[in-house]
Amino acid sequence: MAVYTEVSDEDLTGFLGLYGLGEVTSFKGIAEGVENSNFLLRTTLGTYILTLYEKRVRAADLPFFLGLMQHLSSKGFACPLPVAGKDGESLRALCGRPAVIVSFLDGLSPRRVQPEHCRLLGAALARMHLAGADFALRRENDLSLAGWRPLFELSRARAHEVRPGLAEDLGREIAALEKTWPRDLPSGVIHADLFPDNVFFLGGRLSGFIDFYFACNDLFAYDLAVCLNAWCFEPDNAFNVTKARLLLHSYRAVRPLAPGELEALPLLARGAALRFLLTRLYDWLHCPQGALVKPKDPLEYWDKLRFHRDVRGPGDYGLD
């Protein structure tokens, strides 16, 4: 939630001169995303979002992210569509940063998740996985198994500040996942960060996904595991099996899950919990003192991880 880069009048005018979007009628910073600067741009032709990519997004990954949004849109999957300039290019530079204009996506992200949201989410996630099947570019998931240990090392020495014994617990958990992590399950393009912030609903429908800046090639069921953690726990960290059942059932109705995917789900959900725990732990320990934006509690994800470690089988997720 931030606007980091100030865009001058001259820079904006020069930049928009490269597009055929009519005259600007409004330009406002919006509180969306934590990684980039986002502006609501209204012109005589329509409404758009202008994004300037700040340093946490690697410029080399942008063709993958933007190409994916174009690909999914072309398949009828609703997401922001990068707008091409008069030269046909959608990615260019503004204020020394990579910048892109995308179409404005209607809808509201849920502040409080209801079971119906999970039902709609499951089906949409499966449709996204199918729609991405023939996308030509590839991007490794640098926040999966191979990334966890290096990320952990950046926080290990101070992890006890968050909870005594956390470093030891995490070390054991990473070692256990390294031994058992599944490799031969169906894979393809996944969103990898599908929190409620990134899903819009409108009039009882799911109106689209946004923020594809962690998208990558990985196991489809891992995306489901991320959603289990982000959508199916209550604010007190209690697991809501009704939400999980709706999520998984509606996913399976569009893209059936292989037996191996179902069996691996508890392990994948532990890994997905670990991934967000590790990035939150890093942000927690490296946040400037007194910062206005308080980092998210990493231990929320330790509770979720422990839940999945105790799961005996898919039945605990509401499946038959």
In the bound state with a second copy, the residue whose beta carbon lies nearer, of 22 and 186, is: 22
In the bound state with a second copy, the residue whose beta carbon lies nearer, of 32 and 193, is: 32
DSSP 188: E
Nearest approach, Cβ of residue 96 and a second copy (Å): 16
Nearest approach, Cβ of residue 44 and a second copy (Å): 10
Nearest approach, Cβ of residue 188 and a second copy (Å): 30
Please name which of 124, 280, 249 lies closest in space to residue 199, comparing C-alpha atoms. Answer: 124
In the bound state with a second copy, the residue whose beta carbon lies nearer, of 25 and 74, is: 25
Contact 119, 250 (CB under 8 A): yes
How, if at all, do strands 97-103 and 37-43 pair?
Answer: unpaired
User: In what helix (H) or strand (E) does residue 147 lie, and over which residues does it extend?
Assistant: helix 145-153
Give the binding site for a second copy (CB under 8 A).
1-3, 6-10, 12, 23-32, 40, 42, 104, 106-108, 110-112, 202-203, 288-293
Nearest approach, Cβ of residue 235 and a second copy (Å): 12
d(CA 49, CA 40): 5
In the bound state with a second copy, the residue whose beta carbon lies nearer, of 30 and 241, is: 30
Distance of CA 152 to the CA centre of its chain: 20
Nearest approach, Cβ of residue 112 and a second copy (Å): 6
DSSP for 220-262?
HHHHHHHHHHHHSB-TTS-B-HHHHHHHHHHHHHHSPPPHHHH
d(CA 239, CA 3): 35
In the bound state with a second copy, the residue whose beta carbon lies nearer, of 45 and 133, is: 45
